[in-house]
Structure 1
């Protein structure tokens, strides 16, 4: 009986597959950068840098963020491809560290997107893994893949006591949760707070700007933001949650005077030097999932 020979993909087929993978990764990278730009451009956005003003920040402007964004598209493409190749967590972490170094060079040492590099980077990897596995790109599938492939390592990453960032310092002082804790749990605030709020507003017939405002305030009302604790301590965190919950309770962007109330909140945060940067990063992640997934 003749020996059966396993058929291997031809070089042409392999090249076509690689080209397809690079094209998919490039598309996800563009969506990630556009999502972060959408967060930057949103206004009024309490305490945060926008195209209109610098919010509570004296050390950065919209230009600083845009310089950072130019450095991140390559990273988002690389980490999507790494996810497609089922790369282990240490490879994803190395890509993130390299992206952070490029960001800091572009911004003269100012941290504009450290949280976003981690959060959106891991989501890009999970999206890439779903694509390579032939799964439908749903939000549920992306979160399940994130936990299945890198959940244990993300859990260990969240308890790295050696971190010296402002967020890590706030975590130790106030027991506030940050991006690492979000990652360890599969970014529940993105999947269960930010993204549903965004989609509810769109389903109600309001526009994308209103949807992003509602998602941001829902996140501010829900999360324990280490950025806020670092700048304002426990009192500042209480102010952020109280103001955000009041905005949501009044109906968010469905209320006729929503823009005036959001602007008043912005002025309050600026006066107190409060900046909910963690919520902003999670909003960018929710925008990416809205753009990249089908449901």
Structure 2
């Protein structure tokens, strides 16, 4: 999968391959994680009628060439307009490839944006950046305009305008704060408190859902559904997290509410996959003896 007209060091292709593998693995691990309220997981389609775990995994694997090209074209380049336009072009090609693989179902459009920026940013740093550095470089790319972007509003963009809330672009421009300041700290805090890996990952999802203005939820259930999601996810963490009986009960209650609202937090799912990607790019803390844990 060599990119034409690029002169790169020998390790660039190896790093691009590694970053694309991490990105795809992040999407698959997110899809398989269970139980996730309103989302596709190993139990079923959640609030969706047109999605399945098999379709999500097929979609994720179809994006590997896209993430590879994004990383390769970004290798040790500055975050300038030329690169921004290039990753925009590659991202749109990847989106079309994904839609071909899924029969026209939008499975990972938001994830192409988030993980594409992070894979590009990591490559810009030679594959060796810290979480903070990768997020900062992704933000420097996200803030740049893409003149070739189609002038068609997505559902997410329409929701940000209708409800006057930040969306995926603002999250990226801010350096992915729901990943770096909420999900990753919660993931590592839960591990240190003795949570199992699935429980720690679910806690990270709750940390995102507790405050994210998820446009997928807004599109499906409006502001009432978003508020219910915020309160429900915060209740899981306040109850001690998904490793505790009270936390699991709160998670079950949140799932019932989201299914009743026909709401699926797809934006939170994209950011959880981004959390996995950045987590794997940094050292993991050790775990201690098992116990219930909260957000403090």
After TM superposition, the score normalised by the length of structure 1 is 0.86
The question of 1:41 aligning with 2:32 is answered yes
| 1:268 corresponds to | 257
Say which of 65, 68, 78 aligns to 1:74: 65
Q: Shift in Å at residue 293 of structure 1?
A: 2.4
- Residues 232 and 272 of structure 1 are in contact (CA less than 8 Å); yes or no, is this contact kept in structure 2? yes
Q: Which runs of 5+ in 1 are unaligned?
A: 1-13
For 1:248 and 1:204, the matched residues in 2 are separated by 13
Q: Shift in Å at residue 257 of structure 1?
A: 3.9
Q: Shift in Å at residue 286 of structure 1?
A: 0.3
- SS of the aligned residue for 2:210 comes to helix
Q: Which runs of 5+ in 2 are unaligned?
A: 1-5, 285-296
For 1:171 and 1:143, the matched residues in 2 are separated by 22
The question of 1:173 aligning with 2:162 is answered yes
Q: Shift in Å at residue 85 of structure 1?
A: 4.4
The question of 1:95 aligning with 2:90 is answered yes
| 2:75 corresponds to | 84
More helix by share: 1
| 2:222 corresponds to | 233
Higher Rg of the two aligned structures:
1
After TM superposition, the score normalised by the length of structure 2 is 0.86
Moved more, 260-269 or 53-62: 260-269
Say which of 18, 28, 46 aligns to 1:27: 18
| 1:115 corresponds to | 110
1:139-178 CA-partner distances (Å, limit 9, x unpaired): 1121232244x2540xx46xx8944211111111111322
The count of aligned residue pairs is: 273
The question of 1:63 aligning with 2:54 is answered yes
Say which of 175, 180, 196 aligns to 1:207: 196
- SS of the aligned residue for 2:248 comes to helix
- Residues 117 and 142 of structure 2 are in contact (CA less than 8 Å); yes or no, is this contact kept in structure 1? no
